[in-house]
């Protein structure tokens, strides 16, 4: 399973999303788009959004901390 979290340092919802994944034992790659402009561009291309968090779960994009959608994509 591939999980990426596009986030920024100052985003409280990013922290909630990452804490939730940790609580479920889900490994993820944290990509800080405020420090990496190429990653920010990639996130915008994938999601059509500039807001964070954006989660990429096996190629499925979730914008924001949408726990029901995250659970569905993770099979929880």
Domain range summary for the chain, segments of one domain joined by +: 3-74
- The confidence band for 59, taking pLDDT boundaries of 50, 70 and 90, is very high
Q: State how far the Cα of 18 lies from the Cα of 36, in Å rounded to an integer.
A: 18
Instruction: Give pLDDT, residue 1.
Output: 86
- Record the pTM: 0.94
Tokens standing for 18? Answer: 């990452």
Percent above pLDDT 90 for the chain: 99
Which candidate, 68, 4, 2, places its Cα nearest to that of 53?
Answer: 4
CATH superfamily of this structure's domain 3-74: Glutaredoxin (3.40.30.10)
Q: Which two structure tokens, joined as six digits, stand for 42?
A: 């990639």
pLDDT of residue 52: 97
pLDDT digits 0-9 by tens, 30-58: 999 999 999 999 999 999 999 999 999 99
What's the CA gap between 15 and 45, in Å, rounded?
Answer: 22
């Amino acid at each position: 399973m591939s999980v990426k979290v596009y986030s920024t340092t100052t985003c409280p919802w990013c922290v909630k999303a990452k804490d939730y994944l940790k609580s479920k034992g889900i490994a993820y790659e944290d990509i800080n788009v405020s420090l990496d402009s190429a990653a920010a561009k990639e996130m915008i291309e994938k999601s059509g959004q500039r807001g964070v968090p954006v989660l990429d779960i096996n190629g499925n994009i979730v914008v924001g901390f949408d726990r029901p959608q995250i659970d569905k994509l993770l099979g929880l």
